[in-house]
Structure 1
Amino acid sequence: MNKKFFEQLTEYLNRFPRKILLVAVTKYVGVEETNEVIKAGVRAIGENRVEDSEKKFPHLLPADSTGSPRVEKHFIGQIQSRKIKRIVELFDVIQSVGSIEHLQRIENEADKRQKDIRVLLQFNISGEERKGGFNENNLEQIIQAIASKSLSANSRELADRDKIILATHHIKIIGVMGMASHTDDEEIVRKQFGLLKTIRDRLQEKFPKITELSMGMSDDYKIALEEGATMLRIGRALFTK
């Protein structure tokens, strides 16, 4: 763990009047380094591989003296339908939900376990095909789907069945997530983060509990914060000494 960076980042985050959650991206480090950041005070970790998480999580620091978990577990990787059951079992928050169908499958698995789970809607703000997520052009249809809890499959981008019933008894949609382009052009990055904030704001107008804005990684977190981020996902800078 890069303690100097962590201390500087903590000091920097304290300058902002709003609450900002640091999600330490631990997908490339082992149990020892993950526990080190938890001991340092990190309250959320991000993983993107189900198999690695199944091996790692049993060895994380146990609950504190009050019985509360020491750390929230966030899934930040691409969702595969066949792994949703295990994702729901393992994680507290799913940040990378990019389809209505996946929302419903998560709800179904959460219902089986009577488990409440928080989710963020991932939007493809960079326009890169390799990055998943909803398209901003479908925002009104997404709003309609959440509001009516049903969606006719008029758009193949949103659904591939005749009808998907979106019943959200156990999933709590708390925000949006996005990844900016990997570029040195700060204006491009700023524009993309600004787009995600606009999407969040439009959703929040309809659904006040959608408040979180998860954006910003090791190279662009300062721009993300300037554009209103409430969650950062930082890995490399936190673990490169």
Structure 2
Amino acid sequence: MDATTQSAENLTPDDIARFGPDPEAAFRNNLEAVEARIADACSRVGRERASVRLLPITKTVPAHVLRLAFQAGIRNFGENKIQEATGKKEVLDDLPITWSIVGHLQTNKVKYLTRFVREFHALDSMRLAELLNARLEREDRWLDIYVQVNTSGEESKFGLHPDALLPFVDCLDQFPRLRPRGLMTLALFSDDMARVRPCFALLRRLRDQAAKRDPRLAELSMGMTGDFEVAIEEGADVVRVGQAIFGKRPTPDGHYWPDYPKS
């Protein structure tokens, strides 16, 4: 076994309890199921499957298990926390993995993100844009970004208020090291898709407005395990799927998050 591979024999009892005795096979099967759901959603609205990019969300999955995910064919890893991503990157640095950060970033963590992350899905302030651009300039790197918008109106969620989006977009040219790709949102957490869908529809309308100001903002990053099919129907270009591929995430007390609502 070379350095790029991981044997299921090295799994801990906790790994086996969470991912099963053969995680690589489980990840392959789960990927096939997610791919089928994406294809079906695209078909319902007359879209090509190739128009939607799947971004697997790997948060809380240990690095040695992610080596099995790589062997299952996953090459793009999406993490919520830069601290967790940094630790995994160090362990998996021998693999050609593309790293994305999809969660809120504290300004004091900018220097960690700009070292290796290719795309950032949660740009939500001018101050953060300034710090990212300055650090990227110093390191002679560029970063693909998605501007996060709070479309649910929930105070617990990060993101720009919809009314603040266009003024923010007008300032993006000030940050040449940032490469705008589109908008991102987190919908209401609900199994009632009639409540979830408006969040995605709003982001699509905002994207249409924003793209008139800056044509680079063409994509929509929206939809997770419980609602990505609805997001695709509303125009998602990137869907961020974790639990449908890697299973339930553990809570701090050692239990597992309940199933995401299914559409």
Q: State whether TM-score is above 0.5.
A: yes
Quote the offset at 1:58 in angstroms: 2.2
Give the residue type in structure 1 aligned to 2:112.
Answer: R
Q: Which has the higher strand share?
A: 1
1:115 aligns with 141
Q: Of the candidates 29, 51, 63, which is equivalent to residue 31 of structure 1?
A: 63
Q: Of the candidates 125, 128, 136, which is equivalent to residue 154 of structure 2?
A: 128
Give the Cα–Cα distance (whole angstroms) in 2 for the partners of residues 52 and 130 of structure 1. 22
Give the residue type in structure 1 aligned to 2:121.
Answer: Q
CA contact (8 A) 1:2 1:240 kept: no
TM (norm. structure 1) is 0.83
1:175 aligns with 182
2:30 aligns with 5
Give the Cα–Cα distance (whole angstroms) in 1 for the partners of residues 78 and 230 of structure 2. 21
Identity of counterpart residues, as a percentage? 27
Are 2:227 and 1:195 aligned? no
Give the Cα–Cα distance (whole angstroms) in 2 for the partners of residues 226 and 38 of structure 1. 29
Give the Cα–Cα distance (whole angstroms) in 2 for the partners of residues 220 and 33 of structure 1. 26
Give the Cα–Cα distance (whole angstroms) in 1 for the partners of residues 168 and 88 of structure 2. 35
Give the residue type in structure 1 aligned to 2:80.
Answer: N
CA contact (8 A) 1:22 1:42 kept: no
RMSD: 1.8
Give the residue type in structure 2 aligned to 1:106.
Answer: L
1:157 aligns with none
Question: Could you list the runs of 4 or more consecutive aligned residues of structure 1 that deviate by over 6 angstroms after TM superposition?
Answer: none
Is there any run of 5+ residues in structure 1 with no aligned partner, and where?
A: 64-68, 150-166
CA contact (8 A) 2:55 2:238 kept: yes
Give the Cα–Cα distance (whole angstroms) in 1 for the partners of residues 220 and 68 of structure 2. 26
Give the residue type in structure 2 aligned to 1:87.
Answer: L
Are 2:105 and 1:98 aligned? no
CA contact (8 A) 2:220 2:237 kept: yes
The number of aligned residues is 216
Give the Cα–Cα distance (whole angstroms) in 2 for the partners of residues 223 and 19 of structure 1. 15
1:236 aligns with 243
Give the Cα–Cα distance (whole angstroms) in 1 for the partners of residues 177 and 65 of structure 2. 32
Structure 1 4/91 Cα, relative in aligned 2: closer, same or farther at 3 Å? same
CA contact (8 A) 2:27 2:69 kept: no
Give the Cα–Cα distance (whole angstroms) in 2 for the partners of residues 44 and 131 of structure 1. 25
Q: 1:11-160 counterparts in 2 under 5 A?
A: 11-14=36-39, 15=43, 16-17=47-48, 18-60=50-92, 62-63=94-95, 69=96, 71-146=97-172, 149=173
Structure 1 12/61 Cα, relative in aligned 2: closer, same or farther at 3 Å? farther
SS in 1 for 2:226: coil
